Structure 1
Amino acid sequence: MAQHIDPMREYADARRVVLQLDVRRPPRPLPERVCLTTDDLYDPDFGPDDLIARIAEGPGTAV
């Protein structure tokens, strides 16, 4: 199952939805892509703070 998950595509889909939300204030800029792997998503120690930090870093090179 994990081989069918593409974190970059999932992020792109989520980014598109977030940018289409009707909010009262402009959203913070989101990078076009981020460096996420399925290992990151399955790592129990990789929590919300880690995800937010990874998004803030912007695009990178997947490990």
Structure 2
Amino acid sequence: MTQTLNWSNQMNLMNEDLARAHMHARLGEAQQLREAKLARARRLSRKAERAAQQARLALARAL
């Protein structure tokens, strides 16, 4: 009986460990996705700033 309870407990712990590992992997993927989106937003912001600066310079030259 004790052996059966031990085995059952070990199986439950293994399932918990597996679920924890899956959750950790999903959280890591979500974090990477957030970082990628943030990096893209920064790149686009810098590109927009450069375009705005070029437009201001072109306008200043035209006047």
Report the TM-score when normalising by structure 2: 0.28
Task: Give the structure with higher Rg (CA).
Answer: 2
Q: By percentage of residues, which structure has more helix?
A: 2
Higher relative contact order (CA 8 A, sep 6+): 1
